[in-house]
Amino acid sequence: MSTWIDSTEQALTSESLALLLDNKIPAIRVSAFATPAESAAFSVAAKAGRMQYYNVVDRIGYIGLAQYQYRWTRTRDEFLADVPQAQADVQAVFNAASFDPLTRMMELLRAHWPAPVDVARESGRPYFAGIIRSTSDKIDLHADWAPLNSPDYAIGAIDGQIGWNFFAEELQSGGHTNVYNNPWNPQVVPNEIPKSYGLPRDLTEGVPRFTYRATAGDVVLFNTRNPHEIAAGAAQPGGSRVSIGSFIGRMPDRSLALWA
């Protein structure tokens, strides 16, 4: 449980990355992570890809898979078995766009971190990383913290968790993200995984808040243990808020592991 020592976005450095993992700063922005041409091509390719939709009221499209979809009713082996198809679906978008944001992001992290950076693995088998999303609807208040979300997985051993998102297309208005500096620490019932989506609003009351807006071409990173939400917005005709991202966890050996 930490306190922000600064209330503004920081540039990506080795120091700021460590501070964000320790929840000492609210966010890091990598401006011009991709060119306008790369961003536009990625957005077009994503919209033409194998888009699926979550079973929630708000329409949130995605390509790939998220590990949390397996936490209650499906097994770890089922998750790992589904990874190759998810990787293929996302790779098809990379190929069509001639641009691979996941590899570029890992290379950027490696340039700023003194230990290995790679996709998370479970008994030698890779996780999926790099989920693509497309929506102009809201995403409700939630938190992401693997030691509570996924305690029986290898990523349950992390001691810090952040998320990164590359924005290929922004909304015309709205769509901002609010991050609340109140690291998620729910009461845990033995052998139960606590609910982490649709969190109560009292977690946001009287705590510091950081708000950022997606800008096409940029990457934003923040500490996902803090409750966060995305507001609905208005898109250009045929447009959407198109992004790709993953979690980054600091493992006991100080390496960084990525997963979605």
- pLDDT tens per residue, the chain (260 residues)? 568 999 999 999 999 999 999 999 999 999 999 999 999 999 999 999 999 887 656 678 999 999 988 877 789 999 999 999 999 999 999 999 999 999 999 999 999 999 999 999 999 999 999 999 998 888 899 999 999 999 999 999 999 999 999 999 998 888 899 999 999 999 988 888 888 999 999 999 999 999 999 899 999 999 999 999 999 888 877 778 899 999 999 999 999 999 99
Tell which residue, 75, 84, 74, 47, has the closest CA to residue 62.
Answer: 47
Under 8 Å between Cβ of 43 and 133: no
For residue 204, the surrounding DSSP H or E stretch is none
Residue boundaries of the structural domains of the chain: 9-259
Place of tokens 């998102």: 165
Tell which residue, 156, 205, 241, 181, has the closest CA to residue 3.
Answer: 181
Specify the pTM: 0.94
Q: Domain 9-259 falls in which CATH fold? A: Jelly Rolls (2.60.120)
Tell which residue, 111, 228, 112, has the closest CA to residue 165.
Answer: 228
